[in-house]
Amino acid sequence: MSKHGRILVAMSGGVDSSVAAVMLHEQGYEVIGLTMKTWDYASSGSSSKETGCCSLDSINDARSLAVGYGFPHYILDIRNEFGDFVIDNFVDEYLAGRTPNPCVLCNTHIKWEALLKRADKLDCEFIATGHYANIRLQDSGRYVISKGKDENKDQSYVLWGVSQKNLARTQFPLGSFTKAEIRQMALDMGQTELAKKGESYEICFVPDNDYRSFLRHRVDGLEQKVAGGNFALSDGTIVGQHQGYPFYTIGQRKGLGIAFGHPMFVTEILPESNTVVLGTQEELKKSVALVRGLNLIKYESIQQPLEAITKIRYKDAGANSTIVQEDGLMKVEFHHAVSGIAPGQSAVFYEGNDLLGGGFLL
């Protein structure tokens, strides 16, 4: 028997999850590695070379590391579940005039569920991932996610949807390390090529980061269906025509194909009339947001106004706000107006470094 029991580690083949697996192995856990095949690029119509967590090279790298350290490694094909849920939602959200958050959905509904289902079959008490975040059990009995030590790599934003039940069996071995420290660990392990691996900030199924091309490939006749809609100002004045509302996002400034002599931004998307509303930076700002699909982590509910930092996008620094639950929604009142509140994106709430929870912007 191992010192700490059996743990299933999600291994993408990258430096983070690889070092996490070795770290747990050396701590005395009986590690089992698992690489999930979520997507193949041939299905996306992309001309890009297949890279990232779903490539054959990445799967082979994960397996090679596991073999080298003497622990088992499996490949789990979840392309059907992933495609049906994450990709269908991604397309549906853009067609509804919203901006989706596929990584949050994947973590919440696909990866954690797939990992725990396989963990049960393999008699693993815990699962682990290479996310830069921390987790602890409070006296209240609730599990709390908090920010990772490396502020530039903190990934707590994409973890707000994970349930208490699933957090109870989750470990984040990298939470108390910086990315530089993890790369150095890989070098110390003799894994020189692994230590040099670059970062991937792309959505795994949009390999060239061109979501518009992905939508065109995925939805037959999309361009013909949505072409010729109007650009309008907030007062309804029509100022030009656009290529179709799904190809624009809130806050977009470049690529509008229309000149005003001063900066203009997409401030609203109206799919019913195929209208894209343009406005100034001031018109892009809002002081209040409503958030649906809540998952609260630190507290069971927030029925009284609470001061929090609210992040409305992954790389957002966050803004001071007051939050309170009302009729199943979270009302967010920003202390200073913020730019670019995009329906469909995640709003994530923090108390200090602790993740209070999150949901999707209305």
Query: Can you read off the two tokens belonging to residue 153?
Result: 């790599």
Residue 118 has a CB neighbour count (10 Å cut-off) of 19
CA distance 105 to 162: 9
Query: Could you identify the residue written with the tokens 């997409």?
Result: 266
54 is catalytic: no
- At residue 71, the 3 state secondary structure works out as coil
Edge to edge, what strands does the sheet with 170-171 contain?
73-77, 30-37, 6-10, 126-128, 170-171
Task: In whole angstroms, give the CA distance from residue 103 to residue 311.
Answer: 16
Contacts of 62 (CB under 8 A, 6+ apart): 11, 12, 13, 17, 18, 33, 35, 73
Q: Closest Cα to residue 268, out of 282, 249, 285?
A: 249
Length in residues, the chain:
362
Annotated catalytic, 204? yes
Q: Which residues pair with 288 in a beta bridge?
A: 333
Which of 54, 103, 106, 124 does the annotation list as catalytic? 106
Q: What 3-state class would DSSP assign to 31? A: strand
> Kindly report the CA angle at 62 between 102 and 52, in degrees rounded to 5?
35
Secondary structure in 3-state letters for 273-323: CCEEEEECHHHHEEEEEEEEEEEECCCCCCCCCEEEEEECCCCCCCEEEEE
| Angle CA 111–140–136, to nearest 5 | 45
State the virtual CA torsion across 151, 153, 158, 159 in degrees, nearest 10: -70
Angle between helices 15-27 and 56-69 (to 10 degrees): 20
Positions marked active-site: 106, 204
